[in-house]
Amino acid sequence: MRFRLSGLAVLVLFIAVIIGRTLSYGPSGESAPRLEAPDAPAMSGEEIGRHLGEAIRFQTVTSKAGAPEAGEEQPWLDFHDWLAATYPAAHEAMTLEKVAGLTLLYQWEGSDPSLNPIILMAHQDVVPVNPGTEGDWDAPPFAGEIIDGILVGRGALDDKASLITLMEAAEGLTQSGFAPKRTVYFLFGHDEEVAGIGAKSAFALLEERGVTADMVLDEGMVTVANAPLTGGPLTIIGVAEKGYLTVELRVSGEGGHSSTPPRDNAVVRLSRALVALEENQFPSHLNEQPLKDFFRGMAPDMSFVIRMALANRWLLGSQVEKELAKLPTADALVRTTIAPTMLEGSTKENVLPQRASATVNFRIHPSDSVEKVLDHIRKVTRDIDGVEIIALDGFASEPSPVSSAKTQAFAALSAAASSSISPDAPIVPGLVLGATDARFSYGVSENVYRYMPALLHTDEIGGIHGTNEKVSLENLARMARAYTQIILLMDEAQ
């Protein structure tokens, strides 16, 4: 009887611990200071949509490093002339410097040199439209048409919406008589989609000049209207982005006729190497930043079951990771990802290749590094004969540092998001899975954030780089208002 009572007591205690941890799981006590967003001038979504539609018609398309090549710059140059004509007050108030040929660096000089500046970013270039898919769009992809309050076109979200609404904010503030105390830079890279040479050069120039910024803000995250884990709105402010590395795995072998193939030839050994990578994924970093605060921040809006699983990872951690692994986006949040993308072997079906190769792309979690990735590849392929590991030159980067979510800058972004985008959305720090021009900014600031102030459903987010990329006129008005508030809030901060 005593044994039964002891067992029951242990069970009750066990359940109490699980429930207690679940109920207490939520945002950490430490947070950024709370700010009240100021009023902003009224913004017309229709007028902004008309301007964005005109901007989309400039086909500033990049598809490979070094773009645009000599003789292909005219769309950018025409776009620059259009910006000057469309936003005359902003251009009168700011000085413009062109970097790396086509990147635009505006400086809106503040009256108080003791205040560190802020840098607001967007990019001019867009990705191509996949050949043959033009007819799948609701409107021609470079026409910038508005259909029932929705603007359709390549760059509607990525990223001319940010660029145009930033300029709308600057134009509106200038016309209202606002003159900043804190210097504001607008940095619009010309080749973000391929290499980011423009932004990299601009930040190198600012660093050389001794600029230290209190905030850098670029694209990256949004307010999601229907967040998967909560079902409701969720504002995600990117505080870090993943690194990038592409590796070629190369295996050599004897050529010859396919009628007399050797066992374990180059293609077979290459396949074994790819399978070894697939079966040996990088470890999860679910308990590390920024994911730790990301999940805790939205906990009050989660179902009890999901909240319980995350709060009790000491018990359910392996199951949580299995469930996250089923969703590519969720899995990418918690670990460095491995993506074989290109294969090369023989040039004919009856010829044995003398060399087989695979290109593998890695997106590196902030808790890992380029060297850790290379060590992992060496480790899992070391028992496979003849595998060469070649890190490809060109676009490669370490994961970014993780910026603090307790700064005045984070508070300003939060206040603008609550005021102009969604007052009911929890605000959480997040990890950007792709690459942005902001990765080059750490020489001038440690407060680097990635957030486009727009309220988007998951299907709208899916249109980025895809067919029917679109943005509502209502969102454009929200974005311009939020950017205005961000400038005003940071100008008031001491």
pLDDT in tens, 246-293: 999 999 988 888 999 888 899 999 999 999 999 999 999 988 989 999
* Residues sharing a CB contact under 8 Å with residue 71, sequence separation 6 or more, in sequence order: none
Residue 125 annotated to the active site: yes
Given this model, what pLDDT does residue 20 score? Answer: 82
Query: Which amino acid does the sequence have at 272?
Result: R
The crossing angle, in degrees rounded to 10, of helices 313-325 and 304-311 is 120
What are the structure tokens assigned to 90, written together? 């902003």
Q: Where in the chain is the domain with CATH 3.40.630.10?
A: 45-240+400-492
- Band of pLDDT at residue 400, cut at 50, 70 and 90: very high
The Cα 244–Cα 336 span in angstroms is 10
- Percent of the chain exceeding pLDDT 90 equals 79
Q: Where in the chain is the domain with CATH 3.30.70.360?
A: 241-397
- Percent of the chain exceeding pLDDT 70 equals 98
Tens digit of pLDDT for each residue in 173-220?
999 999 999 999 999 999 999 989 999 999 999 999 999 999 999 999
| Helix or strand (DSSP H, E) at 471 | strand 470-472
The Cα 53–Cα 46 span in angstroms is 10
The Cα 320–Cα 323 span in angstroms is 5
The Cα 261–Cα 151 span in angstroms is 57
- Band of pLDDT at residue 365, cut at 50, 70 and 90: very high
- Band of pLDDT at residue 2, cut at 50, 70 and 90: low
| Helix or strand (DSSP H, E) at 105 | strand 103-108
Tell me which of 125, 218, 321, 368 is the catalytic residue: 125
- Band of pLDDT at residue 11, cut at 50, 70 and 90: confident
- Band of pLDDT at residue 166, cut at 50, 70 and 90: very high
Nearest to 405 by CA among 31, 26, 29: 31
Q: Fold for 45-240+400-492, please state it.
A: Aminopeptidase (3.40.630)
Q: Does domain 241-397 have CATH number 3.30.70.20?
A: no
Work out the average pLDDT over 486-493: 95
Given this model, what pLDDT does residue 357 score? Answer: 97
Tens digit of pLDDT for each residue in 57-109?
999 999 988 889 999 999 999 999 999 999 999 999 999 999 999 999 999 99
- Band of pLDDT at residue 29, cut at 50, 70 and 90: low
The Cα 75–Cα 63 span in angstroms is 15
Q: Note the pTM of the prediction, 2 decimals.
A: 0.94
Residue 158 annotated to the active site: no
Tell me which of 158, 159, 192, 469 is the catalytic residue: 192
Given this model, what pLDDT does residue 1 score? Answer: 53
Query: Residue ranges of the alpha helices (H) in 209-359?
Result: 266-279, 291-298, 304-311, 313-325, 328-334
Phi, psi of 352 (to 5 degrees): -75, 135
